[in-house]
Amino acid sequence: MCPPTAAAGRSTRSRGVPAASGRSVNDVAIRRAGPADADAVADVYLASLAATYDFTGPHSPAEIRRWIAGDLLQNEECWVAETADGSVVAMMALTHDFLDQLYVAPGHLGRGIGRRLVEVAKERRPHGLELYTFQVNARARRFYTRNGFVEVAFGDGSGNEERQPDVRLAWRPAV
């Protein structure tokens, strides 16, 4: 979902979202994101939104880039997936109990990168996690269900800036 209205890491050597390379998930390193990753994180975020949804959000790309650099990377626990050449191909942000953002670059979907980020999220929040996605995002809903999340509530869009029906999912550790 788009940013609300309202971390140290090393910088990446390459900005932007590279084309699919055919590499396995083992060639991707997961690491904490830092301020120097803002452009690469924004590139993944914006490319993923554009490839996934046929509606536009209430924020311009410039506003989203400012939000990522000035708020998201400063105030949330952010992680990136990085290829051997230093290209960021996925990003994730965690709050206290929410998997707040998880985006994989379109050319890198289906390679296990998102699953690895979810594993990090579960390790970092062993008490459980919740998240929202849009109801129209069938791929995300299947992905989260395969990774142990359960759909627990449906919204009509009145609770988000995009005014799109959403679904809240939850993961709780096995007892």
Quick check: is 57 in a domain?
yes
pLDDT at residue 122, as a whole number: 98
Q: Which residues of the chain have pLDDT under 50?
A: 1-24
Q: Is residue 165 part of a domain?
A: no
Question: Residue 89 maps to which CATH number?
Answer: 3.40.630.30
Q: What DSSP string describes 71-132?
A: IIHHHSEEEEEEETTSBEEEEEEE-SSBEEEEEE-GGGTTSSHHHHHHHHHHHH-TT-EEEE
Cα-trace Rg, the chain? 15
User: Is 152 part of a structural domain of the chain?
Assistant: no
Neighbour count for residue 145 (Cβ, 10 Å): 12
| C-alpha span between 54 and 57 (Å, rounded) | 10
Does residue 39 sit within a domain? yes
The pLDDT value recorded for residue 26 is 61
Q: What confidence score (pLDDT) does residue 112 get? A: 95
Q: Kindly report the pTM of this predicted structure.
A: 0.84
Question: Is residue 11, in this structure, part of any structural domain at all?
Answer: no
Q: Which domain holds residue 112?
A: 25-126
158 within some domain: no
pLDDT tens per residue, range 26-49:
689 999 999 999 999 999 999 999
Q: 147 lies in a domain?
A: no
The answer as to whether 137 is a domain residue is: no
> How confident is the model at residue 12, as a pLDDT?
30
Whole-number mean pLDDT of the chain? 87
Q: How many domains does the chain have?
A: 1
